[in-house]
Chain A
Amino acid sequence: MKFAVQDPYSKKVRGYFVNPVHAGNLRKSYTLNVSAAADDRQGNTIQLEAGIDGDTLQELRFRALACPHLIAAAEHFCVRFEGRETKSLQEFDPWETVRELQIPPGKTGRILLLEDAIQSLRQKIGDHSHS
């Protein structure tokens, strides 16, 4: 007998989880190195680092103590935004991440933690460019 088994993790989540190429710290110094973090009461923590030359996000890195969906979302963010202009960060749409990674309804709240960290990163980049 064989039955259809539902996998709580999409192929993309599994792929990013097992091989998160952007996990870790920045590999070199840039004109501007910025880091930001967010955590919640459940013990999930996410750290983002951005290496910036001019207006470009040359390198993005993350670290996370989190569930597979949040780790995958962080990797997905780095893949999508690395190499783009800093102002593109305002285009981050958590629902795009939810759709792309097929994150189940009960887990969508976790992505807000990533959104908080990105918001904090944007703010710090803005502070530096105004100083």
Chain B
Amino acid sequence: MRNPGEQPVYLDHAATTPVDAAVAAAMMACLESPFGFANASSSHLVGRQSAAAIEHARRQVATLLNAEPHEIVFTSGATESNNLAIFGAAKQRAHRGRHVVTMTTEHKAVTECFEALEREGFAVTWLNPEDSGRLDLVRLESALRDDTQLVSIMHVNNETGIVQDVASIGAICRARGILYHCDAAQSAGKLAIDVRKLPVDLLSLTAHKFHGPQGIGALYVADRPGCRLAPLIHGGPQERRMRPGTQAVHQIVGFGMASELALARRDADVLQYRRLCERLWQGIRDLPDLRRNGAAEHTFPGILNVSAGGVDGESLMLALEPLCVASGAACNSQSGESSHVLRAMGCTDASAQSAIRFSFGRGTDKSEIDMAIERYRWAVKHLRSLAPSGIAAAMRA
């Protein structure tokens, strides 16, 4: 537990990242400029200056993905992008067919869209991962039907860091004329994504996962025949009518700057995450009954997810203070359920309950990892020393 005066150690970058100083400076400059307040849809000079700032940012975001600027639709974040992609595509293509496919391990921002489509009469196929967390491509192929219109499978899982083979998934979909949507909230700005090479039609991203501001994201919509979306809201021509409403200029400017920085630093960042992740895992892996959730060879190194037998997840979170990490325990989720991702990967409920996700960011250093190792080892031993005799004895074995 946290001692008086101890500062929080933030290892929850998969939830959100601190805003880079250069991003904050760009946003402040925008807010303080003579055009930052202007409505970009206005045709007067100040409005046009605002519009120019947005188009500059659009190019920066497009460059991150090697997309064309007009393929970028600004939204409020990945949740909205996922909603727009899934409902927009399903409804636009409903006259052709009403079958859609996704995985049980997707983020709630995707699974709850598919549940809503089910309630509207769409047929949904839910694919389970292998124990490694990856999707069996043969299983995907056998799930596709003549009336399948959309497949939505994420790039990097937000809980485990598992990286799906999006190139192969996209190729399977494209060969059948099925739209492929990829939730890249955890990978955009961190892993190389080239939409000119990757057969993806719709891709969601959000600024705050890579040191940009919260409240701004984008949906990449490929400029291809058949790749059209029905808008979720109505009321104006902005964002090619797919996301009408006055654009938040300073947020978009911050997103653009975060994208530019991510492109420049991405490879160095990932190298650093790999070192930190390995250091942390090597520092705790000898604890008895420890499970690394997700096959290491398929995991994004910015995330390490581990379960420990014989401990309660909520107690583990408290014992880990002042570490700021995420838990798979029901008590720590707003849904009141343990992690659906880990259970789909074959974890028992007890194992999912005890799962802790460590995630690293640009500012994370070795000393923080060493503190995490020390704190995690102490917390697990402390809680196991309190556990009922049979459990405690098994953990000592």
**Chains A and B are bound partners:** yes
Residues of A within 8 A of B (CB): 9, 14, 17-18, 20, 23-25, 37, 42-47, 63-68, 71
Q: Do B389 and A71 touch (CB < 8 A)?
A: no
27 pairs of residues in contact across A and B, judged by CB atoms under 8 Å: A14-B1, A14-B318, A17-B318, A18-B1, A18-B319, A20-B386, A25-B389, A37-B388, A43-B312, A43-B350, A43-B353, A44-B312, A45-B387, A45-B388, A46-B388, A47-B389, A63-B388, A63-B389, A65-B312, A65-B387, A65-B388, A66-B312, A66-B315, A67-B312, A68-B318, A71-B315, A71-B386
- Let me know if A65 and B311 touch, CB within 8 A: yes
Nearest-Cβ distance from residue A106 to partner chain B, whole angstroms: 9
Q: Does B19 contact A (CB under 8 A)?
A: no
Q: Which residues of B contact A46 (CB under 8 A)?
A: 388
Report B153-190 residues with CB < 8 Å from chain A CB: none
B residues 279-324 in Cβ contact with A at 8 Å: 310-312, 314-315, 318-319
Residue in chain A with minimal CB distance to B318: A68
B143 at the interface (CB under 8 A from A): no
What is the minimal beta-carbon distance from B291 to any residue of chain A, in angstroms?
16
Report chain A residues within 8 Å CB of B383. Answer: 65
Kindly identify which residue among A9, A17, A64 contacts B387, using a CB–CB cutoff of 8 Å.
Answer: A64
For A68, the chain B residues whose CB sits under 8 A away are: 314-315, 318
By DSSP majority rule, is chain A's interface helix, strand, loop, or mixed?
Answer: mixed
Closest CB-CB distance, A114 to chain B, in whole Å? 14
Q: Does B392 contact A (CB under 8 A)?
A: yes
Using A18-B1, A43-B349 as known contacts, say yes or no to A63 and B392 having CB atoms under 8 A apart.
yes
Contacting residues, chain A, for B387 (C-beta < 8 A): 45, 63-65
Determine whether the beta carbon of B349 is less than 8 Å from that of A17. no
Given contacts A23-B386, A42-B330, A64-B388, 7 further A-B contacts (CB under 8 A): A23-B385, A45-B387, A63-B389, A65-B311, A65-B312, A65-B386, A68-B315
Quote the shortest CB–CB distance from A84 to chain B (angstroms).
23
Nearest A residue (CB) for B384: A65
Bound together, the chains give a CA A25 to CA B311 distance in angstroms of 18
User: B391 in the interface, Cβ–Cβ < 8 Å?
Assistant: yes
Report if B331 contacts A (CB, 8 A).
yes
Q: Which residue of B lies closest to A17 (CB)?
A: B318
Look across to chain B and name the residue whose beta carbon is closest to the beta carbon of A64: B386
- Closest CB-CB distance, A119 to chain B, in whole Å? 18
Q: Assess whether A67 is in contact with B331, with CB atoms less than 8 Å apart.
A: yes
Bound form: Cα–Cα A35–B349 in Å: 28
Closest A residue to B348 by CB, please name it.
Answer: A43
On chain A, the residues within 8 Å of B385 by CB distance are 23-24
Q: Which 4 A-B pairs have the closest CB atoms?
A: A67-B314, A63-B388, A18-B1, A65-B387
Within 8 A of A (CB), among B357-392: 383, 385-389, 391-392
Given that A9-B318, A44-B312, A68-B318 are contacting pairs, would A63 and B386 also be in contact in the complex, using a CB cutoff of 8 Å?
yes
Q: Which residues of the other chain, B, contact A66 by a CB distance below 8 angstroms?
A: 312, 315
**Docked pose: A65 CA to B388 CA in angstroms:** 7
Q: Chain A: which residue is nearest B336 at the CB level?
A: A106
**Chain A residues with Cβ under 8 A from B391's Cβ?**
45, 65
Question: Are A65 and B349 in contact, with the CB atoms below 8 A?
Answer: no
Q: Least Cβ distance of B311 to chain A in Å? A: 7
Residues of B within 8 A of A42 (CB): 330
Interface centre among B319, B388, B392 (most CB of A within 10 A): B388
Q: Kindly state the separation between the CA atoms of A67 and B329 in the bound complex, as whole angstroms.
A: 10
Residues of the A chain whose Cβ atoms lie less than 8 Å from the Cβ of B318: 9, 14, 17, 68
Inside 8 A of A64's CB, which chain B residues have their CB?
Answer: 386-388
Taken together as a complex, chains A and B put the C-alpha atoms of A42 and B329 apart, in Å, by: 11
Distance A42 CA – B314 CA, assembled complex (angstroms): 12
Nearest to A62 among chain B residues (CB) is B386
Alpha-carbon distance between A24 and B392 when the two chains are bound, in angstroms = 10
Kindly name the residue among A24, A45, A63, A71 whose own CB sees the greatest number of chain B CB atoms within 10 A. A63
The closest CB in chain B to the CB of A42 belongs to B330
Closest-CB distance, B395 to chain A (whole angstroms): 11
For A20, list chain B residues within 8 Å (CB).
386
Q: How far is the CA of A63 from the CA of B311 in the complex (A)?
A: 12
> Which residues in B have their C-beta under 8 angstroms from that of A37?
388
Chain B residues near A9 (CB, 8 Å)?
318
